[in-house]
Amino acid sequence: MLPNSNTGASSSARSRTSRRGSSAPSAASASTPTTARQRRQQRQALGHDRSGLSAASTASAARKRPAVVLESDPESESDDQSWHAGSGDDADDSALEYSEGQSGSEDGSSESEAGGAHGRAYDRARAGDAANDAAPGASNDSDSDDTAPAADQHAVNLAILKELKAMNRKLDSMPAAGPAPAAPAPAAAGAPAAAGAPASIFMPHPGQTRFGKDWRAPVYIEHQKLHILRIDEDVEYRDVITPTLRAIKWLGTSAGTPAALKPFKTDVQQIRRSSHSDLVVGFRKIYLLHVQGIVYRIIPNAKKSPELHLAAKKEHVSIMEPLVGPLPGFDLDGDARYHMAFCSAVGTGTNAGRQLACGNPVFQQTVKDTALGFPSGQYRTITLKLIAASIAFGKATFTFKFTGQEGEPRTVDKLTYGEWDSKIYNSTLIQDIMAWLLDEDAVATEWAPLLAIRAQNA
């Protein structure tokens, strides 16, 4: 293993200290301090007093790089996430699905009461995922040559380390009065830096395949931003390569290539799925916070409290199943195919007796709260994509899956919470909902954000 690069910084610091110390006797012999004030002035002149640091010393201290990440954090090795059907109850790994291991479903993790995934992106990003990149569908990613020998990956890591360590040595050798070194310019102009991201460049040790908790958080945030802007698309591995390189500060360097990122592909895949799963399940979490008369607003831990979990599921089945059904007196077909009870309502006044898209007040508030939980700036805008995706998310997470055999009674213990099955819920569905929302002749609405969007697209 390569030595810690902080050793060089320590040596430089000692050499500077020794040089400073060697000049102290001559300064002291010039005049012997007799009062406390004179002694304080002398310390300031010699640079020993923090309140008297010179501008050059301050600039030199500002350039000292923080400790680099050389090892994965053990906390990132948790296995509390499941990317398959069933979410812990008769899970089916053969489906191209992922469930709620991120967000608290039947696999034993618990949900938060404070609005779900978005408000705690950092906590969830730091929570580490189990390495499971063998799920069907992973072969659709553009970088499919995962059979490269381990020696090749080792060589890639060594090459990256060599370049990054050289960059750090260059920082150490700069004169004290010189300007602070500029960080590599990101490829996407104006892209905001991830909040709380480490200031140093990600420096993995040979053989490392996970980012660790300190670097996982900024990678998660960059993936989340991409999913928000492209929420109507099926985001694949190739789409998150650039955001990942930006998060670990390799973008703009010779290390910023897909090949350099390949040893971390499994971790990148888990974060990509995790950030999307939080969007999906987060909608249901926020929606339940606004439902009146509900006892269990979160899903209790199935492993720690099975009886409580079963009681909550019974209540949720009685609430959620009618939500994905039609409004009383209507059917879900033709132009009314997306007028589900959780998002639509029956109008009054000029639209009396008509179904109104996005007319359910709980749905309206959930969409607003979802957007408020996103990173600041353009990501918090209520767009046509977000409204359509919210309808898809609600349909997916409010629909319970029956795991029993044909002919068996549909009892609660044989039902699992809804999840995002990409065979059913995908970009095709969201784009169809978008077109449906813009159809002013067939679909009535009174919701101001949707009316404004229709005016923009007229």
Q: Tell me: do 375 and 237 sit in the same domain.
A: no
Within a domain: 226? yes
Is the CB of residue 181 less than 8 Å from the CB of residue 63?
Answer: yes
Q: Tell me: do 294 and 271 sit in the same domain.
A: no
Give me the amino acid identity at 428: T
Within a domain: 69? no
The model's pTM = 0.60
pLDDT at 200 (0 to 100): 83
Q: How many angstroms separate the CA atoms of 47 and 207, rounded?
A: 43
pLDDT at 390 (0 to 100): 98
Angle among Cα 355, 365, 385 to the nearest 5 degrees reads: 75
Q: Tell me: do 32 and 117 sit in the same domain.
A: no
Q: How many angstroms separate the CA atoms of 331 and 382, rounded?
A: 28
Provide the domain limits for residue 205.
74-280
Q: How many angstroms separate the CA atoms of 299 and 1, rounded?
A: 45
Neighbours of 70 (CB within 10 A): 17
Q: Tell me: do 209 and 268 sit in the same domain.
A: yes
What is the chain's mean pLDDT, rounded?
Answer: 73
Within a domain: 65? no
In DSSP notation, 382-402 reads --HHHHHHHHHHHHHHHS-EE
Q: How many angstroms separate the CA atoms of 316 and 132, rounded?
A: 30
In DSSP notation, 403-417 reads -S-TTS---GGGEE-
Q: How many angstroms separate the CA atoms of 419 and 37, rounded?
A: 72
As to burial, measured by CB atoms within 10 angstroms (0-12 exposed, 13-18 middle, 19+ buried), residue 330 is: middle
Percentage above 70 pLDDT, the chain: 57
pLDDT at 158 (0 to 100): 65
- Please tell me which residue, 116 or 351, carries the higher pLDDT value: 351
Q: Tell me: do 81 and 136 sit in the same domain.
A: yes
- Give the mean pLDDT of 89-117: 37
Q: Tell me: do 299 and 264 sit in the same domain.
A: no
- Give the mean pLDDT of 37-53: 54
**Residue 85 pLDDT exceeds 70:** no
Q: How many angstroms separate the CA atoms of 340 and 317, rounded?
A: 16
Neighbours of 147 (CB within 10 A): 5
Q: Tell me: do 275 and 287 sit in the same domain.
A: no
Within a domain: 62? no
From 264, 280, 296, the end of a domain falls on 280
Q: Tell me: do 166 and 210 sit in the same domain.
A: yes
Within a domain: 255? yes
pLDDT tens-digit readout, 325-366 = 999 999 999 999 999 999 999 999 899 999 999 999 999 999
Is the CB of residue 123 less than 8 Å from the CB of residue 219?
Answer: no
401 beta partners: 416
pLDDT at 458 (0 to 100): 85
271: helix, strand or coil? helix
pLDDT at 255 (0 to 100): 86
197-to-186, 187, 213, 269, 284 alpha-carbon distances in Å:
15, 18, 11, 20, 29
Q: Tell me: do 110 and 258 sit in the same domain.
A: yes
DSSP state of 355: E
Six-digit token string for 96: 């191209």
Using CA atoms of 244, 198, 118, 394 in order, give the dihedral in degrees to the nearest 10: 10
The answer for residues whose C-beta is within 8 angstroms of residue 184's C-beta and 6 or more apart is 249, 250, 251, 252, 253, 256
Confidence category of residue 423, pLDDT binned at 50, 70, 90: confident
- Please tell me which residue, 369 or 98, carries the higher pLDDT value: 369
DSSP state of 285: H
Within a domain: 58? no
Q: Tell me: do 236 and 289 sit in the same domain.
A: no
**Residue 422 pLDDT exceeds 50:** yes
Q: Tell me: do 140 and 38 sit in the same domain.
A: no
Confidence category of residue 317, pLDDT binned at 50, 70, 90: very high
What is the greatest pairwise CA distance in the chain? 100
Percentage above 90 pLDDT, the chain: 52
As to burial, measured by CB atoms within 10 angstroms (0-12 exposed, 13-18 middle, 19+ buried), residue 361 is: exposed
**Residue 207 pLDDT exceeds 80:** yes
pLDDT tens-digit readout, 256-292 = 899 999 999 999 999 999 999 999 999 999 999 999 9
Angle among Cα 220, 222, 223 to the nearest 5 degrees reads: 65
Confidence category of residue 36, pLDDT binned at 50, 70, 90: low
Q: How many angstroms separate the CA atoms of 352 and 350, rounded?
A: 6
Confidence category of residue 50, pLDDT binned at 50, 70, 90: very low
Give me the amino acid identity at 281: V
Confidence category of residue 367, pLDDT binned at 50, 70, 90: very high
- Give the mean pLDDT of 34-59: 52
Confidence category of residue 33, pLDDT binned at 50, 70, 90: low
In DSSP notation, 88-143 reads TSS-BTTSSEE-STTT-STTS----SSSSTGGGHHHHHTT-------STTGGGSS-
Q: How many structural domains is the chain composed of?
A: 3
Within a domain: 343? yes
**Residue 62 pLDDT exceeds 70:** no
pLDDT tens-digit readout, 147-172 = 444 555 566 566 666 666 665 565 55
270-to-76, 213, 240, 306 alpha-carbon distances in Å:
12, 14, 11, 28
pLDDT at 37 (0 to 100): 66
Q: Tell me: do 302 and 257 sit in the same domain.
A: no
From 280, 300, 321, the end of a domain falls on 280
